[in-house]
Amino acid sequence: MERYLTRPVRLTIFTSLLALVFPAARLLLVGLLIGIALWKGIKELKAGNQNKSYAYLSIVIIFLLLTGYTFYSAHQVRTALQNVELDISQVKDGQYQGQGEGKRGLIKVAVEVNEGEVTEIKILEESETPSIGGVAMNKLKNQILKKQAVEVDSISGATLSSNGFKAAVSKALWEGMPKKPEVSGLAKVMYFLLENNLNKVTFNSLAILFIILMMVDYTIHAILAKDTGQSLNCMNCQTCVGACPVKIADGDPFPMTMVLEARLGNYERVEELAPYCVGCSKCSGKCPAGISAPSVAGSSIKLLNKKRQEEAAKERDVVKDRDIIQDESIDQTVVTTDQGVSVEG
Ligand code: SF4
Ligand code: SF4
């Protein structure tokens, strides 16, 4: 029982229980599950396992998250766009304040809204010329009340005062508008892609990216495995076993096991199995992936020998360093003078 309760399983159980009690923990649970899938997927890719189920699962999760986010973004931006225009009928009842820059300073107003209509506009503060700006603001106030819209013509000869007054009324009304949702830059990009039907291109691109990633994965492993790279293409079909006159070597199906061991980098095992091969080449002629078992074995043994040579060289260097240290300590002499005792060498 204990061996099944691995850390990821324990964490999942704990967070699931937590999620039952605290709804906010559900997000944590989803994050944890995604995290586990990604972590396992990366481990699989790093280890070069043939079974990449978690890696594929991670890609599917990322794909689904991106898709979900794309549609959510589109909804978010659409909602935001609906509220781009100031619509007095949507303004909630109440009194709102706003300010605008007139010709001679700030113009502050209080706008009263009742049942979707502007019922009163009070000028709270202004320093415009009464005979020009003052008159213009009063005229604009009447026009706005009459038309129930802020987009009214400015009064000629008092354009700056008119604009300042309209800006103040507009800002006050915006205060009463339903809140616009915050839209992130990424959400806008997603919306643009959807609106322009680029989502199809995007999803196709993701599919292409997926294939490219798989190819890159295989290529990287082929490069890493150098000459043994062809073993990565083995499909465990056992055709080579049927073709090979040996068939079973050291209790394992031959030469398939040898190829699979090479893929795992277990070159010592390949070295043990290689002597069973008689070099008839029947396996490579039949293998659907064109794998030559003797060639894989030869490359593996070459890599193994290289590794052994490197280790031996390292060992020699360590021994040499140790000898030098010992020699140096032997050469040291103790010199006694009137000033004291010193070590030379
Ligand atoms: S070359 Fe070796 S591994 Fe391949 S079929 Fe012949 S004996 Fe078997
Ligand atoms: S025939 Fe080729 S692909 Fe099939 S198991 Fe043998 S080496 Fe692998």
Looking at the CA of 274, name the nearest ligand.
Answer: 1
pLDDT band at residue 285 under the 50/70/90 scheme: confident
Each residue's pLDDT tens digit, 81-123: 665 677 888 888 999 999 989 998 899 999 999 988 999 999 9
- Give distance in angstroms: CA of 48 to centre of ligand 2: 18
Higher pLDDT among residues 19 and 178, named by residue: 178
Looking at the CA of 263, name the nearest ligand.
Answer: 2
The protein residue with its alpha carbon nearest to ligand 1, atom 8, reads 244
Residue 56's closest CA among 77, 71, 37, 70?
37
**What value does the mean pLDDT of the chain take?**
78
pLDDT for 120 equals 93
pLDDT for 121 equals 93
The mean pLDDT of 149-153, rounded to a whole number, is 88
ipTM, 2 dp: 0.92
The mean pLDDT of 316-340, rounded to a whole number, is 63
Could you name the CATH architecture of 88-176? Alpha-Beta Complex (3.90)
The mean pLDDT of 25-48, rounded to a whole number, is 70
Residue 100's beta-bridge partner residues?
Answer: 107
Each residue's pLDDT tens digit, 154-174: 888 899 999 999 989 988 888
Q: Output the CA angle 307-308-314, nearest 5 degrees.
A: 90
Residues near 111 by beta carbon (within 8 Å), at least 6 away in sequence: 95, 96, 97, 98, 118, 120, 121, 122, 169, 172, 173
CB 80 within 8 A of CB 86: no
Pocket test for ligand 1, best of 281, 287, 291, 296 (most atoms within 8 A of CB): 281
The protein residue with its alpha carbon nearest to ligand 2, atom 8, reads 234
pLDDT for 23 equals 61
pLDDT band at residue 339 under the 50/70/90 scheme: low
Among 158-162, 226-230, 232-236, 315-319, where is mean pLDDT lowest?
A: 226-230
pLDDT for 215 equals 67
- Give distance in angstroms: CA of 224 to centre of ligand 1: 25
Q: Is there an atom of ligand 1 within 6 Å of 246 CB?
A: yes
What CATH number has the domain spanning 227-337+341-345?
Answer: 1.10.1060
Looking at the predicted structure, is the pLDDT value of residue 205 above 80? no
How far apart are the C-alpha atoms of 116 and 110, rounded to whole Å?
16
Each residue's pLDDT tens digit, 44-94: 666 655 556 666 677 777 777 777 777 777 777 777 666 567 788 888 899
Q: Which atom of ligand 2 is nearest to the CA of 259?
A: 7
The mean pLDDT of 118-142, rounded to a whole number, is 92
- Give distance in angstroms: CA of 268 to centre of ligand 1: 19
Q: Is there an atom of ligand 1 within 6 Å of 270 CB?
A: no
- Give distance in angstroms: CA of 343 to centre of ligand 2: 69
Looking at residue 176, its amino acid is G
Looking at the CA of 276, name the nearest ligand.
Answer: 1
Each residue's pLDDT tens digit, 289-324: 778 899 899 988 988 998 899 889 888 888 777 766
- Give distance in angstroms: CA of 231 to centre of ligand 1: 15
Give whole-number Cα distances, 330 to 307, 325, 344, in Å: 35, 9, 11
Domain segments of the chain as ranges: 2-83+188-208, 88-176, 227-337+341-345
Among 56-65, 125-134, 192-201, where is mean pLDDT lowest?
A: 192-201
Looking at residue 296, its amino acid is V
Higher pLDDT among residues 325 and 235, named by residue: 235
Looking at the predicted structure, is the pLDDT value of residue 272 above 80? yes
- Give distance in angstroms: CA of 58 to centre of ligand 2: 28
Higher pLDDT among residues 69 and 142, named by residue: 142
The mean pLDDT of 252-273, rounded to a whole number, is 92
| Ligand 2 binding site (Cβ under 6 Å of any ligand atom) | 234-240, 256, 259, 287-289, 291
Looking at the CA of 279, name the nearest ligand.
Answer: 1
Instruction: Give one word for 138, left, alpha or beta, with left for phi > 0 and alpha for psi -120 to 50.
Output: alpha
pLDDT for 195 equals 66
- Give distance in angstroms: CA of 246 to centre of ligand 1: 7
Higher pLDDT among residues 148 and 27, named by residue: 148
Residue 296's closest CA among 272, 274, 268?
274
Residues near 127 by beta carbon (within 8 Å), at least 6 away in sequence: 102, 104, 105, 106
